[in-house]
Amino acid sequence: MNGAICERCGVQPAVVYVTHVVNGQKTERRLCEPCAKQEGAWPGMALNWPLQLGQIFGGMVPGPAKTEPSLAQLQCARCGWTTAHLQQTGQLGCDACYETFGPLLEPTLRRIHGAVEHGGKIPHRVGGVLRTERQLGQLREALKQAIEREEFERAAELRDRIRELEHARFGEGAGSHE
């Protein structure tokens, strides 16, 4: 693998690249076979290759022992898929399953992606405008929550940041429409 040396022992050639993505932060490690086995990252140890998607995603959904009793017996009204089927295959049967199994899926999505809403990718040619709009929306929501919690200093900071972004986006007259 391009002559890389194991980052754990510093002696043997790295043959396994381990990548972890947690809350959008990506870390990579290059390990030799013995070190990868010691860390449980060696592909041949506990897994049968090739893996099926159900083997990968099915294990991410909490099993009956880890879920509330009311969640262990869910069934989609549209397609009939059950919690057991979701846990076994890691797949949903239809779009209504997202609503039905949402309480089971949410912790897994948060763990994998750091959020439960997908913001999508933004094309470079319009990215600045869309990123600013998204940031303004987030700041306005944070401002609303700060006011509700009576955190007025934080609210003032958020208000000022919103005005700065609006001024940069619209020019001199920004913010006067509020």
Nearest CA to 18 among 146, 173, 58, 1? 1
In whole angstroms, what is the distance from residue 17 CA to residue 77 CA?
A: 43
pLDDT band at 127 (very low <50, low <70, confident <90, very high): low
Query: Is pLDDT of 139 > 90?
Result: yes
Q: Between these two residues, 62 and 178, which has the higher pLDDT value?
A: 62
User: What's residue 32's pLDDT?
Assistant: 87
Q: Between these two residues, 115 and 74, which has the higher pLDDT value?
A: 74
pTM: 0.36
Residues 6+ apart with CB under 8 A from 37: 45
User: What's residue 117's pLDDT?
Assistant: 72
What's the whole-number mean pLDDT along residues 45-57? 45
User: What's residue 144's pLDDT?
Assistant: 94
User: What's residue 61's pLDDT?
Assistant: 58
Q: Are 4 and 32 in contact (CB under 8 A)?
A: no
User: What's residue 51's pLDDT?
Assistant: 43
